[in-house]
Structure 1
């Protein structure tokens, strides 16, 4: 449930260590015996919250890029989509896939491949609004949640990012390469949910691939 990650502290006059251990064993994170100085209580609560936030952040982020992982980007998509429907605002979801990425790994090695993935992640984080969400969908695939954005503006923005990224030179040792990406965009329709919207974005992405790669397509 949504409360699973909330730290649980027991505050009791119970001094029996065995009973305290039993309580913690049921799912608690700490046991404080009353009376507790308020400074200790406040500090314990603050530290536990900070630790759990850190653990949750690690759990929902991709290790290579620091972007949200596949599951969390879908969670963000669902939440933002519902918000867009409630507020009657335009909303777009975009899928990005690096072109011929297998060849990069095969020819130049995974070190170069990782460098390219991190470069695209950083490039997108620098160029999107704080209200937008960038995630690593898996492998060389990325996803973008774009609230309050229509397809026309999303296309313009992704075209700028595409043109900028293709100019970047990725260097690993003596090797220098340029890499492109393809992108598919879908704008929210009245009967869409997260699954159908992401499917339409994925279909637009495949259309971009089939049309020659290094391009952005909008789902019609």
Structure 2
């Protein structure tokens, strides 16, 4: 469905609603508020800028809590002006960032988007920073507490951190002391943003290793330039280094160089090689149970164990987080499987200690082999990744080889995308775009939508064997979206359910409450589909299996 068709639907629905209301003796103020609230979000999403702006300026005249009723001659003064706006320029209302299809290369290609983690409980400032930075094509995660900030840091490995010194549960300096060592090893710049300006605090922060100390209030133009400068510096660091300092394995840069070199060699000489993708099983549980220092020790011990178990010509890389990759030149997939299974057996017997108790760690692995028909880097990685998922799906601590029949055996891998929004047009647009989404390792996507929050809660939507991404409207007529979020987080394991709140631009109270209750992210209405889809793709990458 084209963008113009969506615009026509918005216009048709608006005129139809006004016509129906004209025939009624009175309309409740709550109905008018909901109408304007939905129109603002939907019009902005499909690129009807003038309609969005008129809805935004009209909305403050009405309240969602009022019990007042309005006669047609009263509400008509505010709502009839929408009709000529629709008629003015039916096809000239498109703005930059139109609704896009899932096939766009910029959504799911290799385009790099730097991730910034903001740890600050000043909701208004955080929302402003998020909007300003994402306008510059950065991806922004938000933590309103030290505890959530630490969790984000260890789980998502951001590219840069903005840290406030005043947090509700512990001081920013305490957080800094906990993360600075790992941040230095991973070369993650930390910028303090604080109203605190004492010389002693600033000196302490710099002595610990922060890159910059920016005082509030900040000049946003200068701040944006500073962020860009630090990312350019980080890029130069990464280009100069090929060793992952935490584990001693080669890094992702060297991985990319190696696979290109091996493929080029294969095309020239027909010399085969195999690629093994490795993922430590239940590593998040290790961090949660024994602490992140123990987790780092496991990563280091695993890397050392593999390096001591392979040949000189083999190349071992840290692929990201607890994921690793091993290139085995002159080795077919079956022989590579023998090597990996031997490493699995010896590593699983290794004993670790944390919190005065012993524990063991295993890993899963998927292997692909270069062939004349499959000798593209992306395809080889995708095949190894599918085999890795098959190992996890089969119970973990296993090694699987990629075969053409493998994807058929994964037919049970289901991802559910659920849209809970009382605006039928929003549900239609989002459902349409997700119908073409095909994330890696998922053979089937099930899309469902609900216009009523209670209907969703009562639908029996959850199955523990499946994964869920829920897009949840923040304002609905029957149940508040944050209340629905609270029920989800109280009843279902967070590891299986990712929740993204869809919220109004000025609804700061809902934003802070949603983040505190465990929302994984929020998107401000009106939104453009490319923004929403790329955001979900990024979250899903670390959420799925």
TM-based fold match above 0.5: yes
Is 1:179 the counterpart of 2:361? The answer is yes
5+ long unaligned stretches in structure 1: 1-54
Q: Residue in 2 aligned with 1:216?
A: 399
Structure 2 unmatched ranges of 5 or more: 1-236, 404-545
User: Does the 8 Å CA contact 1:84/1:147 hold for their aligned counterparts?
Assistant: no
Identify the residue that residue 115 of structure 1 maps to in structure 2.
Answer: 297
SS of 1:144's partner is: strand
Aligned to 2:377: 194
Q: Aligned-pair distance for 1:212?
A: 0.3
Is residue 205 from structure 1 mapped to residue 388 from structure 2 by the alignment?
Answer: yes
Count of residues in Structure 1 that have an aligned counterpart in Structure 2: 166
Q: CA RMSD in A?
A: 1.6
Shift of the 216–186 alpha-carbon distance from structure 1 to 2, 3 Å rule, reads same
Pick which of 75-84 and 166-175 moved more: 166-175
- State the shift of 1:58 in Å: 6.6
**Cα offset, 1:214, TM superposition:** 0.3
8 Å CA contact 1:108–1:175 kept in 2: the answer is no
Change (3 A) 1:107 1:133: same
Separation in structure 2 between the aligned mates of residue 217 and residue 162 of structure 1, nearest angstrom: 12
Give the Cα separation in 2 of the matches to 1:163 and 1:197.
26
Q: CA deviation at 1:95?
A: 0.1
**Residue pairs, 1:1-220, within 5 angstroms:** 59-172=241-354, 174-191=356-373, 192-220=375-403
Q: Deviations over 1:73-112 (max 9, x none)?
A: 1211110122123221221011000000000000110011
Say if 1:57 and 1:65 are closer, same or farther in 2 by CA, change over 3 A: farther
Contact 1:84 1:148 in 2 (8 A): no
For residue 127 of structure 1, give the secondary structure of its aligned residue in structure 2: coil
| In structure 1, distance between residues paired with 2:238 and 2:283 | 30
TM-score, length-scaled by structure 1 = 0.72
Is the deviation greater in 108-117 or in 77-86?
Answer: 77-86
CA contact (8 A) 2:290 2:355 kept: no
| 1:114 Cα offset (Å) | 0.5
Helix, strand or coil: the match of 1:137? strand
Task: Describe the superposition over 1:135-183 as per-residue Cα deviations: whole angstroms up to 9, x where unpaired.
Answer: 0001000001111000111010001001111000012452321000000
Cα distance in 2 for partners of 1:157, 1:74 equals 23
